[in-house]
Amino acid sequence: MSQVKAEAARRRTFAVISHPDAGKSTITEALALHAQVIGEAGAVHGKGGRKGVVSDWMAMEQQRGISITSAVLQFSYRDSVVNLLDTPGHADFSEDTYRVLTAVDCAVMLLDAAKGLEPQTLKLFEVCRHRRIPVVTFINKWDRPGMEALELMDEIESRIDIKPTPLTWPVGIAGDMHGVIDRRDGSMIHFERAPGGARAATEELVDAEEAKARYGEDYTQALEEIELLEASDATHDQKLFLNAVTTPVLFGAAVANIGVRQLLDVLIDHAPAPEPRPDTSGNPRPVEAPFSGFVFKIQANMNPAHRDQVAFVRVCSGRFERGMVVTHEPSGRPFTTKYAQSMFGSARDTIDEAFPGDVIGLVNATNLGMGDSLFVDKKVEFPALPSYAPEHFAQVRCDDTSKAKRFRRGIAQLDAEGVVQVLYSDARGDAAPVLAAVGPMQFEVASARLSGEFNVPVSVDNLPYSLARRTDAPGAQALRTAPGVEVFTRARDGAILAAFPNKWRLQTVKGNDPNLKLDPLLAEVTDE
């Protein structure tokens, strides 16, 4: 028990989240660079002939320069073990991000210095608030023109009702950054960017007298702004941070590797270690209890040469040992963990043991589903992963009938991973399933993966529906003749769903028959 508690205390498990193009994958790679687990940063997706960011392993990600699926990077820094989860920023892939947030203890929120709080950022802050996940904020791209630092602090506090408590403060306006003052000890750090941003920026400690001589009014203004912060009680309080009431703030530029070491140190020094996780009854399972964990992500074909499937498991308690027999909670059956791996983007290594906070990959665990709990000894069931109401629907059809079997296998794989929800109807038949998604770009991903990974060319036709409601067998029977409404059965759980073109059509149908069962799909985060 003492070893498990000691190892858990060394773990830091966090996600990097933000609006698209704020620099998530870049800072993910910069953190790995500062931890000295990679020798050179790809920075802007392969600039200068270098490889693209290590967390963007999918071909479509590398081609488009965006993150489509979350990735896990595990590495050591100082005396800690870091489990870093890079997430998609685009709203179309937000469902993957929300699932990842169930598996972390802290989040790093990136804000673009020029844009401040953007729609997806606001939504993600709300998710973190709902889950009481402590958030560290990194103001990125301070090497480019942007908003004033105090203006950004005001925006954070007024728009999301969380108090920013800067730990570092910039010397020089956005676009003319000389360095930062560390508010914890008053020192100033000057940065010299490495050529091309491929390596960590050189840091120079500058004393107050030298800083005033070098930077004059910019340094004086930074000190005056720090006095304003202190007067408004914008000072870090660890308890308030852990309760998600305040957010520590740091300034830097991920693409230039400026301010990244400070961020990494703050995560090690202040981010929470794994704590007891509540089960479905609300009873916390101690970290020193026998092994338990849950599947929060499933991904196939990460390495085209292997063409295998990996179930990502967050370890919640106890010591995991490769080869141990665990119980699969939904089925009650034993499950052997012979093929267990640690992750670093698409690179994988066999892992012999893991502790609370770690993310492990169980290879070819095809009997596992998203949200499934695993345990040893005393039974535990962790809360189900959040499910989100689809807003876009499209029919997909195999263009080559000789590949129908492979097509069905690919559709089942995409459904298992949660890339899309797969729906079937009697009218369309098994050969023409309907894909339901939060965003339309998910259909592009599904089509590209069916073609690239399963060698199945498909046609995708958008359908005129924008919302769905859960119904029952009598409701389905009544709705089959309703104009503009289509009834489907969801593959993953057999739920009966009715799809509507808009809310007005839904209201009309409900008005005509108030006894119809039309329940909203469960969604932890909505725009309503």
At 442 the pLDDT is 83
- The kind and range of the H/E element at 165 are strand 163-166
Q: Report the C-alpha gap between 168 and 177 in whole angstroms.
A: 13
Residues listed for the chain: 528
Neighbouring-strand partners of residue 468: 499
Question: 336 among the known binding-site residues?
Answer: no
Question: 293 among the known binding-site residues?
Answer: no
At 106, which amino acid appears?
Answer: C
Collapse the DSSP code of 146 into the 3-class scheme (helix H, G, I; strand E, B; otherwise coil) and give the result.
coil
β-pair type (135-140, 106-112): parallel
β-pair type (80-86, 373-375): unpaired
Q: Are 7 and 287 in contact (CB under 8 A)?
A: no
Q: Report the C-alpha gap between 404 and 397 in whole angstroms.
A: 9
Please provide residue 248's backbone torsions phi and psi, each rounded to the nearest 5 degrees: -60, 145
Q: Are 292 and 376 in contact (CB under 8 A)?
A: yes
Domains in the chain (CATH in brackets) are 2-270 (3.40.50.300), 277-375 (3.40.50.300), 392-520 (3.30.70.3280)
CA atoms within 13 A on the CB side of 391: 15
Collapse the DSSP code of 464 into the 3-class scheme (helix H, G, I; strand E, B; otherwise coil) and give the result.
coil
At 66 the pLDDT is 44
pTM of the entire predicted model: 0.83
**Angle formed by the axes of helices 149-160 and 208-231, to 10°?**
30
Selected residue with higher pLDDT from 373 and 298:
373
Instruction: Name the residue among 81, 52, 63 with its Cα closest to residue 357.
Output: 81
At 126 the pLDDT is 82
Convert the pLDDT of each residue in 137-194 to its tens digit. Answer: 999 999 999 999 999 999 999 999 899 999 999 999 999 999 999 999 999 999 988 7
- The kind and range of the H/E element at 77 are strand 71-77
At 68, which amino acid appears?
Answer: I
**Cβ of 391: how many Cβ atoms within 10 Å?**
16
- The kind and range of the H/E element at 60 are helix 59-64
Tokens representing residue 366 in the block = 């095809």
Q: Which residue has the tokens 């929060």?
A: 296
Collapse the DSSP code of 158 into the 3-class scheme (helix H, G, I; strand E, B; otherwise coil) and give the result.
helix
Question: 89 among the known binding-site residues?
Answer: yes
User: What are the CA-CA distances from residue 479 to residues 471, 500, 501 (Å)?
Assistant: 9, 11, 14
Question: 439 among the known binding-site residues?
Answer: no
At 496 the pLDDT is 95
Q: Report the C-alpha gap between 335 and 328 in whole angstroms.
A: 6
Q: Is 17 exposed, middle or buried (0-12, 13-18, 19+ CB in 10 A)?
A: buried
Convert the pLDDT of each residue in 51-100 to its tens digit. Answer: 444 444 444 444 444 444 557 888 899 999 999 987 765 455 567 778 88
At 167 the pLDDT is 98
Convert the pLDDT of each residue in 338-361 to its tens digit. Answer: 888 887 666 778 889 999 999 999
β-pair type (188-192, 179-182): antiparallel
Q: Is 355 exposed, middle or buried (0-12, 13-18, 19+ CB in 10 A)?
A: buried
Convert the pLDDT of each residue in 98-125 to its tens digit. Answer: 888 899 999 999 999 999 988 878 888 8
Whether 314 has a pLDDT exceeding 80, the answer reads yes
Q: Are 10 and 83 in contact (CB under 8 A)?
A: no
At 52 the pLDDT is 46
The model's confidence at residue 196, banded by pLDDT at 50, 70 and 90, is low
Question: 88 among the known binding-site residues?
Answer: yes
At 16 the pLDDT is 87
Q: Are 148 and 122 in contact (CB under 8 A)?
A: no
Q: Report the C-alpha gap between 125 and 153 in whole angstroms.
A: 15
At 50 the pLDDT is 41
DSSP class per residue in 353-406? EE-TT-EEEEET-TT--TT-EEESSS---PPPPP-----EEEEEEES-GGGHHH
The model's confidence at residue 301, banded by pLDDT at 50, 70 and 90, is low
Convert the pLDDT of each residue in 252-265 to its tens digit. Answer: 999 888 999 999 99
